[in-house]
Structure formats: C-alpha cells, structure tokens
Chains A and B, each alone.
Chain A
Amino acid sequence: MADILAILPQQLVFGLSLGAVYGLIALGYTMVYGVLSMINFAHGEVFMVGAYIGWAVLTVLIGHAFGGLNPLWVLPVLLIPAMLLCGGLGVVIERVAYRPLYARGASRLGPLISAVGASIVLQNAVMLSQGARMKVYMTNLVFPADWRFNVLGVSISVLSIVIIVISLLLMWGLVTLIQRTALGRSIRAVAEDREMASVMGIDVGRVVSMTFFLGSALGGAAGVLIGLYYTQIDFMMGYAAGLKAFTAAVLGGIGNIKGAMMGGLLLGVIESLASTFINPAFKDVVTFAVLILALIFKPEGLFGEPLADREKI
C-alpha cells in the first residue's frame, strides 16, 4: 500500500495529462453535437491523422537536424500544421459525408452510418499510404527522458506538464472564442435554434463548417500531444481514443463545452486511479462503469446546462 501511495501523485499527473487530451478530443464531439445534433464518429480518425501529421513533420525536422530541437519552436511547428490540416479535413468530411445527406432531408441515422464509413475510409487511407506498422515519435530528441523535476519527492516529467498546459491553453482559447466573438455567438445561435439563426442573417452552412474546423483542429492537436506522450502511433489509434473522448463528452453532458473539458479530465484521472489501485487491465472496465452510472443517475451529464436546449420547435 505504501508503494501505491508513493506513486499516486505521479499517477494523478499522468491522469491529468491523459484527461486533458481526452478533453481536447471530446470538444470536437460536443461542438458538432451542439450545432448538428449528430455524433461525428469520424472524429477519432481526425485525431489519428493529426498524430501522423505531427510525426511526419517531426521526422523531417530530425532528418534535417536543425541544431537542437528546442521544444519552444518544435511544438508550434508540429501543432500548427496538424491543427490547420485536421481542421480542413473536418470541413471536408462534413461537406462530403454529412451535408449531402442533410440537404436531402436524411434522418439522423443516415449521417451516423456515413460517419462510420468516413472513419473506415480514413483508417484505410492512412494504412495504405503509411503502412500498417506503427510509427515512432522520437520524443526524446525534443523532450529528453531526464527532463523531470521533483515535487515533494515525486518525479514528474516536463512533457506531461507541457501537455496539460497546452491543452488548457487551447481550451481557454476555444472558450474565449465561443463566449466573446461574433463567430462564437453565431455558433451558439445555430446550436440553440438554427432556423432563427438563419433568419437573423447567419449563414448556417458556414457556421457548421467553422464548427467542424475548430473541433477537428483541436482533435489534430490532441493527436500530436498523444504521439509525443506515448511515442507510438498506428492507423487504428483513433478508435479507442475516440471512444474514450466520446465517453468524456457524454459524461460531461454532450453539447456542453465545459462539460467536455471536465469530463475529459475526470475520465483521465479515473482511468489512472483504476490502473493504480485495481489493475491496469481493468481500467476500461472502470471507465465505462463510471459512464453507465453517470447515465443512470444523471443522464444529462455531470456539468451544468447544455450549450443549448435540445428541444426543437
């Protein structure tokens, strides 16, 4: 037991960094649900593509050996292309796989199946172009393994703190955008009543595209962070991560921005505690048991009110 207590703080930091990344991915699910009332099941694959983009850029950087790989410039150089390209990918997915169905008045089931199709296409596209074998992030060239510091006798890696900080910064940026800008207001207006929003002069199609862009960009950033952290990526990684992040979004209350972030953090911590106190093999069992309990006792999710009333007029 004393052993367990000794590693507990470390596990908590691990849980928080994992949870922050879950939260980033969960934001994409929750935002799309907010404006379209649909689950974008291809979102996990966007995250996976983000991890591959970061890997490709990092590999180029290493190949050209630009002196030392200082994280201060390497991180933006990995994150920005991943975010922009994934944002664009999200917009394309919506245009190709969802909008044609909505435009023809499809039920909710149609886009859902189309989303599953889109994720299979993305997985296979990456597998065919990049090969089925895993790719390795040379993280230790950016964050050397001995970059750790001690707090009260607990050894914490710099990378895990960097991941938490970057995730929180991105979340803060998103919340600011949603709360304080005209685009954010338009997104909230479309989420609350899309017909009314259109009559108020809002181009709903454009707002939906922007929502996909923002959510997918965060997913791409999450892919890079997870790649750096776990150092191994493969074309199937989006499935499990997507499922976890979706769970986080539901746990927090789907459609709710703050809920997605808190749900992610909570899920990450629960997972790491379950690995510590029970057995790493049971962490998913515990995670989904928590989800089931939450759905039974608080089906609208744990945090606050939704982004918008779901009642349709």
Chain B
Amino acid sequence: MSLLEVIGLRKNFGGIQAVRGFDIAIEERQIVCLIGPNGSGKTTIFNLITGLIPATAGRVIIDGRRDIIGRKPHAITAMGVARTFQNQRLFNHMTLLENVLVGCARSAKAGLASILLGLPGARAEKLQMIERARSLLALFGERLLPQADDLAGSLSYANRRRLEIARALATEPRLLLLDEPAAGMNPTESRELMTDILRVRDRGVAILLIEHDMTVVRGISDRVVALDYGVKIADGDFAEIRRHPKVIEAYLGRGTVDA
C-alpha cells in the first residue's frame, strides 16, 4: 500500500488543460523527483495535492483509504502532507523560532484561558513546543539555530530555503513536497541541500520534489517522474529517465543531462 496515490488527476484552467490525467504512487521513505519543462504542470500538481486549488477530476489517496480531494489545506496538512513553495514564503515578520512554531500549533492542546492564566500544563506544553522547534532548527547544524530569535526576513537566501524545510517539518509530515529547493543555490549549497534532504528522509519522511538541477536529481532520487504538458511521459530511475526518448524530446536536448 502506497503512502500517497494519485489517480487520474486533472485540472483545467478555463480551456487550458494544465494537468491531464496524472498518476503517481509514492512509498514510505521514498524520494521521488518530478521533472519537466516549465509549464508542464508540476507546481499545479503540488497545489492540487495540498488542496490549494480544487481538482477538476481525479483522486489523491493517503494510506490507501483516505481521499483528500475536496478537503481544506489545513486538513490535508493534518493528514501528514507538508510543502514548501518555489517563491519563498516565510513569515518575514516573525523570528525563525516563531516560523517553526506556527507549524507546531496544530498539536497544541492548551486552551486560550489556561494560556492566559499561565497554568502549569500550558506552560509545560509551550516549553515542549519550543524545544521541538529548536531541535528542528538544529537539523541544519549551526546554520539556523544561532539566529533563532532573529526575524526571518534577515536570513540569507540559502538559509531561507533551509528554514522553509524546517518549518514544513514542524507539521510532522509523512510526505514532504519541495518545490525547487535548489533553485538559486550555488553548487556547494546544493550539495549541502542534498545531504539535508537525505537526512529528512532518514527521519521517516517521504519526499516528492520538483527540481531542475540534474545533479541534485541524480544524487538523491529513488525514482524520477517526467512530465510534459500535464501528462506523465516517463517514470523510473534516473538512468532510465535520462535515456528516455520522450524525455529528451520534451527538453529538446537542452543540455539537461550533462552530468
């Protein structure tokens, strides 16, 4: 039984068919890369899976039983799906720690009254949440933790990307969707990102990522799924995909497999 199963997913924007019957299955702890030219529907698929836009047709099933199509984004997050965005969307007016704590909020039990009255239970829970948030920041070594109380808006580009991942993990996902995590990173940062992603997987999280950097795709994917015009054109390991005639055709040989 797959962790996530997408069956016949479709999305029309007016007359444009952005996604035309997309299928994918992702197993626990698997890293799957979604590749394809710009406009092939990758981000739209992310938006459909996370419930940000309604699907025209199709099913998205978690654990082989729960169909999440039609549910609200926060309910889907509660079922264990988290994501990052291609354009960074941190809460810039909050500290790093607060950004992560936003994701922890779902698990908070204490009511408003007990928080305001400072009851011991609420206080212990708060400390526990802060501890968890700090441990998520610590996933990235010394990159984020020393700046825990700085505003997120003050972070460097690569650290912003790291914080997005830490924040997404705060919702305790079993599947993490990363939208071009290596975009704008230099080769050193990309390599570091790859080890970070593998470490996240080792925590028991499956990862579906959109990525254009083929070094990253080759370095971490268990499987690669290629997309063109909203249709899956290939599904297999990196070696198969790079030789797949349809993939080469889709990219028109634009030096995508140079490594």
Contacts and interface: CB of A to CB of B under 8 A. Distances in A.
Contacts of A200: 74, 77, 82, 102-103, 105, 167-168, 170-171
Nearest to A308: B93
A292 to B, nearest CB: 29
A182 B72 CA distance: 20
A181 B115 contact: yes
Contacts of A177: 112, 115-116
Interface centre among A201, A203, A309 (most CB of B within 10 A): A201
B115 A196 contact: no
Contacts of A202: 74, 102, 105-106
B112 A199 contact: no
Contacts of A204: 74
A182 B108 contact: yes
A168 interface: no
Contacts of B105: 182, 185-186, 200-202
B82 A186 contact: no
Interface residues of B, number: 32
A137 B102 CA distance: 44
A183 interface: yes
A294 interface: no
Contacts of A189: 91, 94, 102
B91 A188 contact: yes
B115 A198 contact: no
Nearest to B82: A199
A197 interface: yes
Contacts of A201: 74, 77-78, 103, 105-106, 171
Contacts of B112: 177, 181, 183
Nearest to B153: A309
A193 B77 contact: no
Contacts of B7: none
Interface string A71-105: 00000000000000000000000000000000000
A6 B240 CA distance: 90
B154 interface: no
Contacts of A183: 112, 115
Nearest to B91: A192
Contacts of B228: none
Contact of A185 (B50, B74, B101, B171): B101
Interface string B168-186: 1011000000000000000
B52 interface: yes
A195 interface: yes
A185 B89 contact: no
B70 to A, nearest CB: 14
Interface in B55-102: 72-74, 77-78, 82-83, 85, 87, 89, 91-94, 98, 101-102
Nearest to B100: A200
A313 interface: yes
A185 B82 CA distance: 19
A199 B102 contact: no
Nearest to A195: B52
Nearest to B171: A201
A313 B52 CA distance: 13
A173 interface: yes
A121 B98 CA distance: 41
Contacts of B85: 196
Nearest to B164: A196
A23 to B, nearest CB: 20
Contacts of B170: 200
B57 to A, nearest CB: 21
A184 to B, nearest CB: 9
Interface of A: 173, 176-177, 181-183, 185-186, 188-189, 192-193, 195-204, 305, 307-309, 313
6 contacts: A193-B91, A195-B89, A199-B82, A201-B74, A201-B77, A201-B103
Given A176-B116, A182-B101, 8 more contacts: A182-B115, A189-B94, A189-B102, A196-B85, A199-B74, A199-B82, A200-B167, A305-B93
Interface of B: 50, 52, 72-74, 77-78, 82-83, 85, 87, 89, 91-94, 98, 101-106, 108, 112, 115-116, 129, 167-168, 170-171
Considering the complex of A and B, which 3 residue pairs feature the smallest CB-CB distances, nearest first?
Answer: A201-B77, A198-B73, A201-B106
